[in-house]
Structure 1
């Protein structure tokens, strides 16, 4: 019925078919533009979400490395601070490659890809402080070997202060990490 009505309309008004074709073409063009725009919008949303997830993973990874480093520094402090445990710590527990590995991971970490100034700053300070702490451990062990009590005490104090500083900077990093997670949900 509708088809018959349209054919009758096209026969009665010959230009109607061209107008219907023009309107159909415009409608098809509009739908095509809308479809491409919607696909691009969805693609940009997915890329943005992937970038957020990548940043979260990097920050979570950095947190894990720093947690491990803090535990190792605290274990070194405990082992070196006690006279009766010192030799056992140096000969049985201490492993320089562990600290070298921490430094390698922190040096290779893409700090420049962190999301903001505060997070990047605390990560840089943590990395530098870990270098100082590892040096203090090496110096303390060398001082034990050479029986240099002054150098040993100085190195132990430096390690204690640096470990505290790292814990403080790690708290800043974790706070900014949590703020980033909360604002990007």
Structure 2
């Protein structure tokens, strides 16, 4: 049976052409609704993925800063001489700390999406800022340099532990958000 014979039969049967046309119109409407729903679903998935990727990038910034603080803590735990600390500070650590603070300060914390992540972010930011303040005081000390650095080491280690604990909490909140 060819299409010509089907077409001839439809055209010459009274009322059948209008039924075929009505059925075709209903099918076209159904397909249009299905296509629109599929596109909407795909758009929603893409939007959700972009939001997840953005939060992952924000979390990576916080992680990077926290890892640097851990590295700095390892140096401070060794109680290096004032000269060694000042040189490593001048050559490497100062730039890393400033970069961490700058990156964190540019981060739109409200886009982390949850209060526990925002609080963790501010805890880490506060700890890193305090570490910078403590080191600046010790570096700027004119008298009793050894004592100033000993005090700074103790205070920095306390802040490092706070940042590490906050990072662990932040990390578990970030994992639970998924």
Which residue matches 2:170?
A: 173
2:164 equivalent to 1:163 = no
Residue 169 of structure 1 deviates from its aligned partner by 0.4
Q: 1:119 is matched with which residue? A: 117
Structure 2 unaligned regions, length at least 5: none
Change (3 A) 1:152 1:65: closer
- Show CA shifts across 1:147-180 (max 9, x none): 2666555433322211111111011111112223
Alignment: residue pair count: 174
Q: Equivalents in 1 of 2:133, 2:5: separation in Å?
A: 92
Counterpart mapping for 1:57-72 below 5 A? 57-72=57-72
Q: How does 1:91-106 map to 2 (within 5 A)?
A: 92-95=87-90, 96-106=94-104
CA deviations on 1:113-144 (whole Å, 9 max, x unpaired) are 1131111111111101111111111112233x
CA contact 2:68–2:97 (8 Å) conserved in 1: no
Higher RCO (CA < 8 A, seq sep 6+):
2
Residue 73 of structure 1: how far off its partner (Å): 4.0
1:88 to 84, 91, 97: 84
The 1:23–1:73 alpha-carbon spacing in structure 2 relative to 1, beyond 3 Å, is same
Distance 1:61 1:100 in 2: 13
Structure 1 residues 178, 8: CA separation in 2 closer, same or farther (over 3 Å shift)? Answer: closer
TM-score, normalisation: structure 1: 0.80
Gaps of 5+ in 1: none
CA contact (8 A) 1:139 1:152 kept: no
